[in-house]
Chains A and B, each alone.
Chain A
């Protein structure tokens, strides 16, 4: 009985990510003196939370069998838009709502292009990445002079409560909410059905287009949320925000058990994947390894994980006798 439970845990998709995280924590504890330093843990939280928020959106899409390359640009655009709104002298809640609105609009455009028009997800979101980046940079010239956000806005980024940042509490709430949503809510289960077999889901009567559209919209809003917290933490928008974050989230989700084929993935997996990526970055910083090497490592890991995923998939198909 004991062994069965052990086997079950190992077979879970998330176990790869958990295993990798444990290895990294061990390496960091042994090799670096300052890993457990509160300051390091704080900086880990700050780099981890926005990425994890975006990774949730990415995970929803991966479960449906889609993905979004434009999250980084959406994040950048939202952060700069937040700067613009607060320069216009709007009150803080309005600024936040408008920023989330910008993310929602971008997400809806993505969703429209992919689900209604039917464009390949890669190409539609790559195009939107370009559009978003260009739009953000146009706005950037006006926001460049902004010194700092309002005090109340900054609390979102710097405020602490019970030893953790406000944003970490928000993230924990999101983890619980989304876990319940994916596991028990009918809406969450629909995502898996659409990803597992879209035709069948359509025949049963699910509106697959609407589900996909909503998933993209949610990703847009989550990117905007990440932008709000991130920009609040560094007091003003920067033009480098969100660079490469689509890749980070994407790889994190794939490592955390998401599959490009759809129908697989969980919130915990996404979180573990993001923890892994943050720890990896942290390791490169703390051990003073060249940051360029990180790209090589991440690329190789991605290829390995994708290959493993494909191998498992083929094995499953063979077992079912489909090939």
Chain B
């Protein structure tokens, strides 16, 4: 486990320091689960858990690319609007051009990938701050979403594309199973594969990796494209689930993503992060929201709590980073 986060072998002493930050998220989520199932009778039933995990699984696709980027020390603020963009394009392709869901999603992902590549190119070529560029992309895409969605108001997606998300294998939605498979595969790849480990090296020290012959800029560009494509995929699934394109899909998602990734042990300074733990971070946030709603906590108070958690997580991150240095 301890090689996971840096991609290099650590000695015993370092391992100990590491694991403190590493497993916190598991304990937190477990504690929250136990607490909620003991105190709320409605919490621990299959439908409730399934709906929490389904929400996590849709957002998970957006956090894949986000985690890659955060490992390399970059931030993608456009995930939320890309998420919504998936829904918008689904609406356009399925309603206007009468495409079926599969090709529509693929086409949407290709378009998003091109946008991601462009922003990645600008960021790496001109050494721009990734946050600023992706905020610009976020605004532009968000405006486009609004424009198209107001034109499509009141039109649901065709039944065929609405229902395919609801397909189940056994008793569990296929999206959830896909998430679990993808998460495990990516986690293994991040630990073992030469190509994926490059990200950690880039995040640790970009100058050195370039000297060693890793094409850091190309890796980053690809990851920006991947982030945009997979967010679009998740957004398309979410839109199928809510039945019509909607501007509120994916709003404020970037904040959720940062919080989830950081409480999952990623560092905003780059060089740390893990796929499964980011997923657990998302699970923690959604469980917390579910629990707060079960306790009838006002939605505005929920916002305050989430904001405070974000700040606390970052303070912990700074502490851990300072200790390691």
**Interface residues, chain A, with chain B CB atoms under 8 Å away:** 113, 117-120, 122-124, 126-131, 133-135, 137-138, 247, 250, 254, 260-261, 290, 292-303, 306-307, 309-311, 313-314
Q: Which chain B residue shows the least CB distance to A122?
A: B131
0/1 string, B249-262, CB within 8 A of A gives 1:
00000010010001
Provide the residues of chain A in CB contact with B307, threshold 8 Å.
126-131, 134
Contact of A138 among B122, B255, B258, B298 (CB under 8 A): B298
Determine whether B177 belongs to the interface, using a CB cutoff of 8 Å to chain A.
no
Contact check, A127 vs B311: say whether CB atoms are below 8 A apart.
yes
What is the size category of the interface that chain B forms with chain A? 35 or more
Contact of A113 among B140, B150, B311 (CB under 8 A): B311
For chain B residues 254-281, which have a beta carbon within 8 Å of chain A?
255, 258, 262, 268
Contact check, B135 vs A302: say whether CB atoms are below 8 A apart.
yes
Smallest beta-carbon distance A204→chain B, Å:
25
CA distance A306 to B150 in the complex (A): 30
Contact check, A138 vs B300: say whether CB atoms are below 8 A apart.
yes
Determine whether B306 belongs to the interface, using a CB cutoff of 8 Å to chain A.
yes
Provide the residues of chain B in CB contact with A123, threshold 8 Å.
258, 262, 268, 310-311, 314
User: Could you jot down 6 A-B contacts, CB within 8 Å?
Assistant: A119-B314, A122-B131, A130-B307, A138-B301, A300-B140, A306-B132
Q: Which chain B residue shows the least CB distance to A291?
A: B146
Q: Which chain A residue shows the least CB distance to B129?
A: A260
Q: Which chain B residue shows the least CB distance to A120?
A: B268
Determine whether B20 belongs to the interface, using a CB cutoff of 8 Å to chain A.
no
User: Given known contacts A130-B310, A133-B303, A307-B133, what 7 new A-B pairs fall within 8 Å (CB)?
Assistant: A123-B262, A128-B307, A131-B304, A131-B307, A137-B300, A138-B301, A306-B136
For chain B residues 286-325, which have a beta carbon within 8 Å of chain A?
298, 300-304, 306-308, 310-311, 314-315, 318
Contact check, A295 vs B310: say whether CB atoms are below 8 A apart.
no
CA distance A260 to B300 in the complex (A): 32
Contact check, B303 vs A130: say whether CB atoms are below 8 A apart.
yes
Contact check, A310 vs B128: say whether CB atoms are below 8 A apart.
yes
Contact check, B139 vs A118: say whether CB atoms are below 8 A apart.
no
* A134 with B300, Cβ < 8 A, contacts A120-B268, A120-B314, A298-B139 known: yes
Contact check, B143 vs A311: say whether CB atoms are below 8 A apart.
no
CA distance A290 to B150 in the complex (A): 11
Q: Which chain A residue shows the least CB distance to B77?
A: A122
Provide the residues of chain B in CB contact with A296, threshold 8 Å.
139-140, 143-144, 147
Contact of A303 among B131, B136, B303 (CB under 8 A): B136
Determine whether B142 belongs to the interface, using a CB cutoff of 8 Å to chain A.
yes
Determine whether B194 belongs to the interface, using a CB cutoff of 8 Å to chain A.
no
Smallest beta-carbon distance B299→chain A, Å:
8
Q: Which chain A residue shows the least CB distance to B139?
A: A299
Closest 6 CB pairs of A and B: A295-B143, A130-B307, A299-B140, A299-B139, A134-B304, A310-B126
Contact of A299 among B128, B131, B137, B308 (CB under 8 A): B137
Q: Which chain A residue shows the least CB distance to B305?
A: A134
Q: Which of B133, B304, B308 has the most CB of A within 10 A?
A: B304
Contact check, B315 vs A303: say whether CB atoms are below 8 A apart.
no
Contact of B146 among A126, A292, A300, A311 (CB under 8 A): A292
Smallest beta-carbon distance B71→chain A, Å:
16
CA distance A292 to B315 in the complex (A): 37
Provide the main secondary structure of the chain B interface: helix
Smallest beta-carbon distance B250→chain A, Å:
15
Determine whether B282 belongs to the interface, using a CB cutoff of 8 Å to chain A.
no
Contact of A117 among B137, B144, B315 (CB under 8 A): B315
Contact check, B143 vs A314: say whether CB atoms are below 8 A apart.
no
Smallest beta-carbon distance A110→chain B, Å:
11
0/1 string, B100-143, CB within 8 A of A gives 1:
00000000000000000001001000111101110111111111
Contact check, B140 vs A303: say whether CB atoms are below 8 A apart.
yes
Q: Which chain B residue shows the least CB distance to A113?
A: B311
For chain B residues 141-200, which have a beta carbon within 8 Å of chain A?
141-144, 146-147, 150
Q: Which chain A residue shows the least CB distance to B134?
A: A303
CA distance A310 to B300 in the complex (A): 39
* A119 with B318, Cβ < 8 A, contacts A113-B311, A127-B308 known: yes
CA distance A313 to B258 in the complex (A): 28
Contact check, B122 vs A292: say whether CB atoms are below 8 A apart.
no
CA distance A302 to B143 in the complex (A): 13
Provide the residues of chain B in CB contact with A134, threshold 8 Å.
300-304, 307
Contact check, A299 vs B314: say whether CB atoms are below 8 A apart.
no
Determine whether B82 belongs to the interface, using a CB cutoff of 8 Å to chain A.
no
Contact check, A290 vs B147: say whether CB atoms are below 8 A apart.
yes
Provide the residues of chain A in CB contact with B138, threshold 8 Å.
299
Provide the residues of chain A in CB contact with B310, threshold 8 Å.
123, 126-127, 130
CA distance A127 to B305 in the complex (A): 10
Q: Which chain B residue shows the least CB distance to A133?
A: B303
Contact check, A295 vs B301: say whether CB atoms are below 8 A apart.
no
Provide the residues of chain A in CB contact with B140, threshold 8 Å.
295-296, 298-300, 303
Q: Which chain B residue shows the least CB distance to A312?
A: B126
Determine whether B75 belongs to the interface, using a CB cutoff of 8 Å to chain A.
yes
Contact check, B258 vs A126: say whether CB atoms are below 8 A apart.
yes
CA distance A306 to B119 in the complex (A): 11
Contact check, B133 vs A303: say whether CB atoms are below 8 A apart.
yes
